[in-house]
Structure 1
Amino acid sequence: MESNQIVYEECSWISDIVKEVVQIKHFIMNHSMRLAIYHEFVSLKLLSIVDTRFASMIVMLRRFKLIKSGLQNMVICDKWNIYRDVNQEKAKFVKEKVLDDFWWDLIDYILSFTAPIYDMLRICDTDKPCLHLVYDMWGSMIEKVKKVIYAHEVKRLDEKSTFYEVIHTILVDRWTKNNTPLHCLTHILNPSDQWLDEDPTLISPYKNKEINQERLKCFKKYFPNLNERDNVNLEYVDFASKNEDFRDFDSIQNRYSMDPKAWWVDHGACAPMLQNIALKLLAQPSFSSCAKRNWTTYSFVHSVRRNKMTPKHAKDLVFIHSNFCLISRKSPQYAEGETKMWDIGGDAFDLFEDIGVLEVANLSLDEPEMESGFFFQKKWIIWMKDFLLYYLMER
């Protein structure tokens, strides 16, 4: 109970800021005239982001930071004074907060110390192979968060910070729940060790006790036979120490210039058992959210009206829908025009700068230009699914 109380006391101000931002947004959007005044001063839309969306709080705060000057000009204009009479208390609250520099400083602070966390999650939440980057990104993210908090509190890194300890505990608890030995094994099998040059305090994976213990757990799981396990351990020794065929000049040079999976294809034949594991792990995405999106598609296919569809037919339609999305990404129209990135969800977040992400973070009726192209393509896919459904049922 005491630890929960400390967490609440140290972090409650963050929830307060978020609630105030939501109140301001609702006050503007729930009145047509206030919304019209807002559009006179701000070109960007106010987003309505559901809580289940990825980093919804951060996206909302980033949007408010972008429109800061427009909001301040809005609340001091003559028209605002006319339409504030509908609810003077809320209008006064909105004006005080928008013109309060300390309030904006707190928003900047939240965005600054959550930025490393947000960036890491955003990189990992894709369908791209990045399992080998998770362990290193985790350590770098913790250090970046610590530096931001200590700089804000004007403290040395060896001093105590209650707020950082709370944030660190939350992050460690989350890491403990999601971390697996595979993160460490894939980190070890990444041939590039350029990250060691970024921080002189870092050590090679084979010198790290924790990483090696996790590696041994994986090897015992993959190779229950003792002789096989001895062979793969010897292969790992050669790989880690750059001995035998791994000491070849091209092999060492390509560790820094080639994709990890491509490197193992090109130079890993001398360690076939280790190569087999590396090729499997280095092709894996780190999050399962990409796979979970199939269940969303499945819920559209197997609806109340189509509850008698056989599992095979439903599976075929989900497969077809997913491949339509992949095929559309290869077309020239996908990268340009009003319908570019029309299937944006999580896989393509890394293709956008901050403003771009915020512009398409919520596709609503408030975005008619985007919606027209989006629904056109969605209707086309729905029509194709209906046609294929009919074909499969008849077959």
Structure 2
Amino acid sequence: MMKRFTKQRSLVKPAKTRFATAFLTLHRMYEQKSNLKKLFVSDEYTNSAYGREARGRESADIILSPSFWNNVVHALKIGGPLVKVIRLVDGEQRPPMGYLYEAMDKAKEAIQVSFSDQRKYKRVFEIIDKRWDSKLHSPLHAAGLVLNPELFYDNEERILGDEPLWNGYYECIEKLIPEESVQDKITEQFSIYRNAEQLFGKNMAIRQRKTKSPGERVLICCFIVNKLFLYQYYVLKICSTSTVEWWKQYGHSTPDLQKFSIKVLSLTCSSSGCERNWSVFEHIHTKKKEQTNLETSQ
């Protein structure tokens, strides 16, 4: 019955995490808002066995309630930027380590811009920060941002003034590089990278800070959350070349920093920390298996 009203479109869209699946399903519901309302006021529904049950009447009340759809808009404004981060984290072709720290900052900025009243997102920020600090944040992410040429040189002033970021960067050096002599060489060589000297200052190196990074942007989700806003969320498509390749080609002037950068930027990420109930069985499931199981359950 439902698919006749939604023009054969399913409301459930499987994704790698429960969070992303819930968000995309909510988005699908918002797209089908008018059709869902038509369904729940139709004679076909109200005269059906389920429509006459208490649960059926309750479902209709929810779908026809303006406050429900206001809450859906609220959830989409918050969830959109966070889904963007999760999609970036779960990139399957190249590790996105150099982009995660910046992506979280941008996600919070996007949430803040979408609300005019701080009270509407203050509690959300508290939840995000708690989750980020306890489950997701790592000195590796800080080091990844510092060593990402695409982001570092374009945001140098802001990055150089971010003390927590540098605490994470130096903590990462201490954890990954036990030899103090090598640690000292890395810190000494950093000024060459920061000032774009020697090979880093070559026109090709400057030009390829972005072209050697996953800079091709792919539209993953576009939706209208109300009549005033059109939101388009992008993820970085991981191309065949990356920040790692950039360091391999232009980092020879700083051999110790080069090795450290390649080690950090080559590490993979996972969004499994975003899950509240993540069993081992579910963790080893592939995307294809998840989709098959979901379709079977429908």
Common fold by TM > 0.5: yes
> In the alignment, which residue of structure 2 is the partner of 1:362?
294
Deviation at 1:361, TM superposition (A): 8.9
Out of 72, 80, 86, the position equivalent to 1:121 is: 86
What one-letter code is carried by the residue in structure 1 that aligns with 2:3? Answer: H
The structure that is helix-richer by fraction is 1
2:173 is the alignment partner of 1:219: yes
For residue 172 of structure 1, report the CA deviation from its aligned partner: 0.9
Aligned with 2:123 (options 166, 182, 186):
166
Map of 1:4-15 to 2, 5 A cutoff?
none
- Give the residue type in structure 1 aligned to 2:57: K
What SS class does the counterpart of residue 257 from structure 2 fall into? helix
**Change in 2 beyond 3 A, CA 1:255/1:344:** farther
TM-superposed CA distance for 1:142, in Å, is 1.0
Counterpart of 1:133 in structure 2 is 99
Measured after TM superposition, the shift of residue 271 of structure 1 is 1.2
Q: Is structure 2 residue 157 aligned with structure 1 residue 192?
A: no
Give 3-state SS (helix, strand or coil) of 2:267's partner.
coil
Residues 33-182 of structure 1 mapped to structure 2, 5 A cutoff: 37-42=1-6, 43-47=8-12, 53-83=18-48, 87-127=52-92, 128-150=94-116, 153=117, 161-177=118-134, 178-182=136-140
Residue 343 in structure 1 maps to residue 288 in structure 2: yes
Q: Confirm or deny: 8 A CA contact 2:199 2:252 kept in the other structure.
A: no
Q: Does 1:275 align with 2:224?
A: no
Cα distance in 2 between the residues matched to 1:99 and 1:240: 57
- Worse-matched range after superposition: 215-224 or 84-93: 84-93
Counterpart for residue 252 of structure 1: 206
Structure-1-length-normalised TM-score: 0.57
CA contact (8 A) 2:13 2:21 kept: no
For residues 49 and 266 of structure 1, the distance between their equivalents in structure 2, rounded to whole angstroms, comes to 39
Q: Which amino acid aligns with 2:150?
A: S
Report the TM-score when normalising by structure 2.
0.74
Among the aligned pairs, what percent are the same residue?
18
Contact 1:206 1:240 in 2 (8 A): no
Instruction: Spell out the pairing of 1:258-337 with structure 2 (5 A cutoff).
Output: 258=212, 259-287=242-270, 289=272, 296=281
SS at match of 1:203: helix
- 2: distance between equivalents of 1:133 and 1:71? 39
Change (3 A) 1:103 1:228: closer
- Are residues 81 and 184 of structure 1, via their aligned partners in 2, closer, same or farther at CA, if it must alter by over 3 Å? closer
Query: Cα RMSD over matched residues?
Result: 3.4
- 1:119 is displaced (CA, Å) by 1.4
Aligned mates of 2:203, 2:245 — CA distance in 1: 17
Q: Which blocks of at least 5 consecutive residues in structure 2 are unaligned?
A: 213-241
Query: What is the rounded CA distance, in whole Å, between the counterparts of 1:297 and 1:73 in structure 2?
Result: 37
Return closer, same or farther for 1:85/1:124 CA change in 2, 3 Å cut-off. closer
**Quick one: which amino acid aligns to residue 211 of structure 2?**
S
- Say which is worse superposed, 269-278 or 92-101, in terms of deviation: 92-101
d(CA) in 2 for partners of 1:279 and 1:169?
Answer: 33
Q: Deviations over 1:305-341 (max 9, x none)?
A: xxxxxxxxxxxxxxxxxxxx9xxxxxxxxxxxxxxxx
2:171 counterpart letter in structure 1: K
Q: How many residues align?
A: 261
Tell me how far apart the structure 2 counterparts of residues 119 and 106 of structure 1 sit (CA, whole Å). Answer: 20
Deviation at 1:120, TM superposition (A): 0.8
* Alignment partners' CA distance in 2, 1:95 and 1:72: 8
Q: Check whether the contact 2:146–2:152 (CA below 8 A) recurs between aligned residues.
A: no
For structure 1, the residue ranges without an aligned partner over 5 or more in a row are 1-36, 154-160, 301-324, 326-341, 346-358, 367-395
Deviation digits for residues 10-31 of structure 1 (CA, Å, limit 9, x no counterpart): xxxxxxxxxxxxxxxxxxxxxx
